[in-house]
Structure 1
Amino acid sequence: MQPIVLVIEDDDAIQGIVEDALREGGFEAAIAKTGEEAVTLLKGRLIAYRALVTDINLLGRFNGWEVARAARDVDPNFPVVYMSGVAAHEWPAQGVYNSIMLHKPFAPAQLTTAVSHLLNGLLAVGSNRA
C-alpha cells in the first residue's frame, strides 16, 4: 500500500502537478481545497495520512501554517512540506520544527525528495530549525 500524503492546494494546475509528482514518487495523494477541510480530515483520523504538503495561502479561515500546527497536534512528528511563492520568507518564524519549505516554482522531483526525506527521518538541507 502506498503512503497517503494529504495535499492542501487550491490552485487546480499546481494541485495536478503535485498529485502527479507524488504518484510518480510512489505516494498516493489525498486532496483538500481548504485548510478547514484538511484540519477536519487530520483530526478525524479516518485515514492514516503519512505526511502533509500544504500551500501557505489557502481558501478559507486556516492558512498552511495553522494546518501544519493542527497536524502536529495530532502527531508531534508529522512530516510537513510547505509550498509557497510569496510567504516562504515567513517559514523560519511560522513553520513547524523539522519541516521543509519549497519555493514555487519547484521541480516535481524536489517535492518527492522532500516527502521521502521527512518520512525516512532524514533532515533535508533547508529544513526548518534543525
Structure 2
Amino acid sequence: MAELPIVLVIEDEDAIQAIVEDALTEGGFQIATVKTGEEAVTLLRGGLVPYRAVVTDVNLLGRLDGWDVARAAREIDPHFPVVYMTGGAADKWPVLGVPNSILLQKPFAPAQVVAAVSQLLNAGSQQTGPA
C-alpha cells in the first residue's frame, strides 16, 4: 500500500486546526501540525519528512506569517502545493501569495481543504507537454 501524502498544517487556533486535521485525515492524508511559521519553516528546511503540501493560516503567532512559510516552501520546491486560510487577508493574496496556490476564506467547509490540497497535488503530478 502506498504511503499517505503528508500535509503540513500551520494554524494557531486549536478549533480550526482540529477541523482541518480531521478533514484531511478523512480525505486520506497524514497530517503534521505546528502553530508558528518558524516551526513550519524549520521542518520544511530540515527535509526529514517528505511533506507533499502546506496548508497555512496567513496570520500566525511569531515573526513569520503564512506568506513567509509559502515562500520558504517554494524555495525548496518551486511547485510545492500551498493552500492559504484567512479570515481577513484575502485581498493581499494577489500580491503576497505564491503562484499556483489556493486561498480559502474563513469560514470554509472542511471538504474545501481536502479538495484544494487534492487539486494542487493532482496538478503537480501530471506531466505536461509543450504548450
TM class, shorter-length: over 0.9
Count of aligned pairs between the two proteins: 122
Structure 1 Cα separation of the partners of residues 113 and 20 of structure 2? 8
Tell me the secondary structure at the aligned position of residue 121 of structure 1.
Answer: helix
RMSD of equivalent CA atoms:
0.8
- Aligned-pair identity in percent equals 70
> What residue in structure 2 maps to residue 17 of structure 1?
19
Mark the runs of 5 or more structure 1 residues left unpaired by the alignment: 123-130
**1:89 positional shift:** 1.1
Q: Verify: 1:96 aligned to 2:98, yes or no.
A: yes
User: What's the TM-score once normalised by structure 2's chain length?
Assistant: 0.92
**1:116 positional shift:** 0.2
Structure with larger Rg: 2
**Mapping for residues 1-130 of structure 1, pairs under 5 Å:** 1-121=3-123
Letter in 2 for 1:28: Q
Mark the runs of 5 or more structure 2 residues left unpaired by the alignment: 125-131
User: What's the TM-score once normalised by structure 1's chain length?
Assistant: 0.92
